[in-house]
Structures are given as C-alpha cells and as structure tokens.
Structure 1
Amino acid sequence: MRIETITLGGGCFWCTEAVYEQVDGVVAVESGYCNGHVLQPSYRQVCEGDTGHAEVVQVQFDADRIGLREILEIFFVVHDPTTLNRQGNDVGTQYRSGIYWHAPEQVPVAQAVLDEVNRASGGRVVTELRQRQNYTRAEDYHQHYFANNPGAGYCAFVVAPKVEKFRRTFRERVKA
C-alpha cells in the first residue's frame, strides 16, 4: 500500500468529506482548514471570513488502488469549480475551490487535470493550486458529519445530492 495525501477545498467540507468517505481506495478523510494566516482557527473564526482559510478535506488514498488523477476527476464532478468563493448558498472565501498539494510531484498531475477542466468549461475555472499550508483539523463534530447527521436539513438537501451524483457518475469507484 502506497499512501498519498491531497487536500481539497470544494465548498463546505461536509459535502466533500461525505463523497470521499465512499470512494474505493480512499483510506481516510479529515475535515479541516488550510492556507490562512491565523494559527489553529476555530470554525467560528473561519466562518467569519477573515482568517484566509479554506474549508477543506484532507484525503489519504492508496495510490496502488486509485491515482491522484481520478481523485481529482471526482473532485471536479462533485463541486462547481467556476464559482469564485461560493458553492451554492455557501458564500465566502472559506468556500473557495482549491487543490492543496503535499508533494511537488503532485503538481504536474493536478495542473494537467485543472487545465483539462478549464478548457472544457471555456476557461471559467477559478480553482487555486497551492501548496497546503497552515492546516488545522476541524472540530470533532465536523468529522463524518453526513454519516452522523443524514437527516439534518443541510445534509438532506445539499450533501446527499452530491453524494448521489458521485455514486451515479463513478459507480465503479463506490466502496463495497
């Protein structure tokens, strides 16, 4: 098993986490905050929008079972990379689209996928590609949020459709 880690910001981390927890080959998903200027911010601070952090998920995957390219292809299907600082009704810099790399060898793969998606969208992609910095794990109640709260309104109306879209589009990648 070769474990790699990539950090992804695709709007609210509850949505992104719920998808990647169902991806075959993903071994761990953790919600958190990265690439801001405040050390160890709280959820409240990040939501106020002045820490500079993005809500992200840190995805650990077995690179012998699923590659970074496929991890990123899933990412671009389950969120809208063309809306600046927004996913649906979630608005603010903390909801920006971003790929935060952990190793320099991830950059060419991420850039290639990003370029393909950008061409396909007519040049409208706003996803940033940066090295992951100043990462803080989100509070415990944010971890596995959808799994623990499937009946909550946000989960039912926002998270569940994204999970279903993943399950329809990537049937062969859904964990057994």
Structure 2
Amino acid sequence: MRRHDPTSKNRQGADVGEQYRSIILYTDESDRKEMDLYIDKIRPSFSKPILTEVKKLDEFYEAEDYHKNYYENNRFQPYCMLVISPKLSKIRKEFGIKSQD
C-alpha cells in the first residue's frame, strides 16, 4: 500500500462515508480485465480482503468549478497543508518526481 488503503470500506484516512469508498471505474471490458488482473496480482500483499469496487462508468457528471483543481487553488487551506501536501511529498520522494512548486 502506498497512499491508499483498498481494504477499508467507505473510508480513507479520517474521511468516512460512501463518498470515500475505494472504486475503479472502467469504460470498456479490456480495462475491466486489466484491473481484475492487477487486483489479483496485489491481493497476496494484503492481510485483509481488497474492498475496492470495480464498476462500469454509467454516467459522468462534471464537477462544479469550485471543486476543479482544488489543491492547486487551495494549497494553503489547512486540509491541503496537513493532509494532501504531505502525501504528495511522500509520493514525489518515492517515485523521484520533482516538485512543481
């Protein structure tokens, strides 16, 4: 597990509720098969069942403008500074990605 826990149902970190469920949406069967193969591949590395839902994308709703690019537009808000920024720093360090700040 890197920065996401696929074994938690309706929760990611301190955020709880169905809107925080782990889900992968696909648009065609070849993507579905690839996702299933990957989940099968990583399953042995977890001590609990993987609860990530794999579901066909039925309908897409574009986010309201205030949700778009939220981190980029709000990086000095407490949640961004205390939760998102540290996660991004860890990912950048782990994968050798230089910060765009």
* Fold shared, TM-score > 0.5 on shorter chain: yes
- The equivalent of 1:85 in structure 2 is 10
The structure with more strand, counted as a fraction of residues: 1
Q: Larger Rg: 1 or 2?
A: 2
Structure 1: gaps spanning 5 or more residues = 1-75
1:146 aligns with 2:67: no
Identical aligned residues as a percent: 35
Q: Which residue of 2 aligns with 1:35?
A: none
- The alpha-carbon deviation at position 165 of structure 1 amounts to 2.2
- Residue-pair matches, total: 100
Gaps of 5+ in 2: none
Matched, 1:98 2:36: no
Higher share in helix:
2
Superposition TM-score, scaled by structure 1 size: 0.52
- How far apart in 2 are the matches of 1:83 and 1:167? 24
Separation (CA, whole Å) in 1 of partners of 2:99 and 2:90: 15
1:137 paired to 2:59: no
CA RMSD of aligned residues (A): 1.9
Higher relative contact order (Cα pairs below 8 Å, separated by 6+ residues): 1
Offset of residue 78 of structure 1? 2.5
Partner of 1:158: 83
* 1:127 paired to 2:52: yes
Give the secondary structure class of the aligned counterpart of 1:100.
strand
Which amino acid in the other structure matches residue 153 of structure 1?
P
